[in-house]
Amino acid sequence: MSSTQVERMELDQLTCWRIRVAGSELLLAQQGAQILSYRQEGQQPLIWLSPEAAYRSGQSVRGGVPICWPWFGDLRRNPDSVQAHYQQADAPAHGLVRAEDWQLQGIDEEDGEVTLHLAYDTRNSPLPGWQQDARLTFSVCVAQDLSMRLETLNRDRAPLAISQALHSYFAVSDVRQVSVEGMHGCRYLDTLQDWRELNQEGEPTFTAETDRIYLDTPARLSIVDPGWGRRIHLDARGSRSAVLWNPWIEKAKRLSQFPDDAWQNMLCIETANLLEDIVQLKADERHLLELRISSVPIV
Ligand code: TA6
């Protein structure tokens, strides 16, 4: 019977939690409620963490699963309803909460699984320039697989419009050998071709910088990694859009906390609510964005 371990630790300036259960190990930073890494016994890591990761207050850690909320990417590329909530000029990429202090609400331990509950409440921690009254809760369940759920509660009388993403970095043997199942036939916007709309023919593979927003995505997307003999399944709920990103050679050199050659060993698939799939909540309405990550051998 593998033992369950829940350990709080300080990594440089960040309070983190290391959870070992059912042969899996998760590392999470309270700042941003950011999953940093996740691996299963006897396997290569599933969630990629940069070898140059920095654990600094007020700065997102490179890798893991940053939470992009209440907008994804460049605010100006979002629908007007999402933009309207932010009253300042300097909109940071990927929203306002991925480098903020979240509050640990509790840790549940049951046979074979541990769940961490974190929250961000704008009543206690206002977001400068964003006036809505909302409460975010993020729960991460570590077991044989990894599950996470991000709930947005609109406590404002006014309607709330957000875009969001679980910006998951996955570890791969060599991105040049990898393909992605589930995207064939999906429309996508290629942000590297001035957001031109295209249709995905066959399974995406990687031969250059890739930065695409897929629409009408199915519930299951899978990374096929022959180098490590595995498929990584992403099972999403509450999301019908996803971002596919690899920086490749030149952009990798410009990224913070990112070794020049690290592009070969990571791939982002970000299950999200973007563009026509944004979340619109009336007063007191909630939305759940969920993701389960599992790995199976390629037979
Ligand atoms: O999700 C893809 C993306 O928007 C890329 O364009 C790249 O900027 C990446 O996110 C990482 O963004 P960050 O602000 O974390 O460096």
How many angstroms does the Cα of residue 73 sit away from the middle of ligand 1? 7
Atom of ligand 1 nearest to the CA of 245: 2
How many angstroms does the Cα of residue 179 sit away from the middle of ligand 1? 20
248: which DSSP letter?
Answer: H
Quick: pLDDT tens for 225-280: 999 999 999 999 999 999 999 999 999 999 999 999 999 999 999 999 999 999 99
Supply the pLDDT for residue 64: 98
Supply the pLDDT for residue 270: 98
Supply the pLDDT for residue 1: 47
**Mean per-residue pLDDT of the chain:** 97
46: which DSSP letter?
Answer: S
User: How far apart are the C-alpha atoms of 67 and 124, rounded to whole Å?
Assistant: 19
Alpha carbon distance, N-terminus to C-terminus of the chain? 28
> Which residue's CA is the closest to the ligand 1 atom numbered 8?
73
Q: Where are the beta strands (DSSP E) in 41-155?
A: 67-68, 103-110, 113-121, 134-142, 146-154
* Domain residue ranges of the chain, discontinuous segments joined by +: 5-297
Residue 296 token pair:
């199976």
How many angstroms does the Cα of residue 180 sit away from the middle of ligand 1? 19
Ligand 1 mutation pick, 255, 273, 275, max ligand atoms within 8 A of CB: 255
User: How far apart are the C-alpha atoms of 78 and 238, rounded to whole Å?
Assistant: 19
Quick: pLDDT tens for 63-102: 999 999 999 999 999 999 999 999 999 899 999 999 999 9
> Which residue's CA is the closest to the ligand 1 atom numbered 10?
73
> Which residue's CA is the closest to the ligand 1 atom numbered 14?
93
Quick: pLDDT tens for 42-70: 999 999 999 999 999 999 999 999 999 99
Query: Quick check: 213 pLDDT over 60?
Result: yes
> Which residue's CA is the closest to the ligand 1 atom numbered 6?
211
How many angstroms does the Cα of residue 77 sit away from the middle of ligand 1? 13
Quick: pLDDT tens for 24-35: 999 999 999 999
Give the burial string for 248-274 (b: 16+ CB within 10 Å, else e): beeebeeeebbeeebbbbbbbbbbbbb
How many angstroms does the Cα of residue 237 sit away from the middle of ligand 1? 22
How many angstroms does the Cα of residue 291 sit away from the middle of ligand 1? 20
Atom of ligand 1 nearest to the CA of 243: 1
Query: Quick check: 206 pLDDT over 60?
Result: yes
> Which residue's CA is the closest to the ligand 1 atom numbered 2?
245
Atom of ligand 1 nearest to the CA of 73: 4
> Which residue's CA is the closest to the ligand 1 atom numbered 13?
93
> Which residue's CA is the closest to the ligand 1 atom numbered 4?
73
The architecture CATH gives domain 5-297: Distorted Sandwich (2.70)
Quick: pLDDT tens for 276-288: 999 999 999 999 9
Supply the pLDDT for residue 3: 80
Residue list, ligand 1 pocket, CB within 6 Å: 73, 93-94, 167, 211, 243, 245, 255, 268, 270
Q: Provide the whole-model pTM.
A: 0.98
**Range 147-155 average pLDDT:** 98
User: How far apart are the C-alpha atoms of 18 and 9, rounded to whole Å?
Assistant: 8
What Cα–Cα distance (Å) separates residue 171 from each residue in 41, 62, 184, 258? Answer: 15, 13, 22, 14
Query: Quick check: 196 pLDDT over 80?
Result: yes
Share of the chain above pLDDT 70, in %: 99
Atom of ligand 1 nearest to the CA of 72: 4
Query: Quick check: 155 pLDDT over 60?
Result: yes
Query: Quick check: 2 pLDDT over 70?
Result: no
